[in-house]
């Protein structure tokens, strides 16, 4: 009799522990990870790369993945009379800039798609960064560089790292560089090189960890 009671107690405790684990898992909030498309030109490759990146990183249960498209946002060219670093609490004179500010504040982590334009990153990216200041502080950011040549946007990403670290962003060391980007994807829009997927998985683990 005592033996059966012991087993019953162990079973009840086990179910209790399992429930507690499930409840804890449910409680764990997802991190908002946004894929920022760093180009806006007609026929840009960033759209296809963004989708391929999305397909990989959205498998991570801890991440709520969304696109952040500079083309759709249509941010103005920097025109504020007061530089963002001088207005910590003051809003911008431009409501679109204020919306951009709110969006970045509400983003836990970013993966920036960085096109190589003449060995540097795109002007639209620099403009998007300069419109804000305090919002970048501590922001968790990872990079995916790409270009037509064989270096996959190495110097473009390096330059962007320099700028974002100067304003206090929290940059991941791991990065994905895609050389000869015009042949990086299958017809279905998946990465041909499966190592890219492994690296992206590792990057999103770090962004959400």
Ligand X SMILES: Cc1cc2nc3c(=O)[nH]c(=O)nc-3n(C[C@H](O)[C@H](O)[C@H](O)COP(=O)(O)O)c2cc1C
Would you tell me which residues interact with ligand X (CB under 6 A)?
Answer: 39, 41, 44-46, 115-119, 147-149, 181
At closest approach, how far in Å is the CB of 70 from ligand X?
11
Q: How far is the CB of 89 from ligand X (least distance, A)?
A: 35
CB 96 within 8 A of CB 127: no
Q: Which is nearer to ligand X, 40 or 60 (CB)?
A: 40
Nearer to ligand X, 78 or 117 (CB): 117
Terminal C-alpha separation, the chain: 48
Q: CA 192 → CA 182, 187, 195, distances in Å?
A: 11, 10, 9
What are all long-range contacts of 22-27, with beta carbons under 8 Å and residues at least 24 apart? none
**Residue with smaller CB distance to ligand X, 50 or 203:** 50
> What's the rounded Cα separation, in Å, for the pair 14 and 160?
51
- As given in the structure block, the two tokens for residue 194 are 């499966």
Q: Between residues 17 and 149, which has the closer beta carbon with respect to ligand X?
A: 149
Q: How far is the CB of 72 from ligand X (least distance, A)?
A: 15
Residue with the closest Cβ to ligand X? Answer: 147
- In the complex, minimum distance from the CB of residue 51 to ligand X, in angstroms, rounded to a whole number: 13
């Amino acid at each position: 009799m005592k033996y059966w009671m012991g087993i019953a107690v162990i079973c009840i405790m086990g179910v209790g522990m399992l429930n507690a684990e499930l409840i804890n898992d449910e409680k764990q909030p997802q991190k908002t990870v946004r894929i920022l498309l760093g180009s806006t030109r007609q026929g840009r490759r960033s759209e296809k790369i963004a989708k391929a990146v999305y397909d990989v990183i959205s498998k991570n249960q801890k991440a709520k993945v969304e696109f952040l498209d500079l083309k759709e946002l249509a941010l103005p060219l920097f025109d504020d009379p007061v530089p963002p670093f001088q207005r910590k609490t003051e809003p911008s004179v431009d409501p679109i800039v204020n919306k951009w500010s709110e969006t970045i504040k509400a983003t836990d982590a970013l993966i920036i798609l960085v096109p190589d334009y003449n060995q540097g990153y795109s002007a639209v990216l620099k403009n998007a960064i300069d419109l804000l200041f305090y919002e970048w502080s501590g922001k968790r950011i990872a990079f995916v560089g790409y270009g037509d040549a064989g270096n996959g946007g190495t110097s473009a990403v390096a330059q962007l790292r320099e700028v974002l670290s100067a304003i206090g962003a929290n940059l991941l060391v791991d990065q994905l560089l895609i050389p000869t980007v015009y042949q990086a994807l299958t017809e279905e829009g998946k990465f041909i090189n499966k190592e890219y997927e492994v690296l992206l998985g590792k990057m999103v683990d770090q962004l959400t960890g």
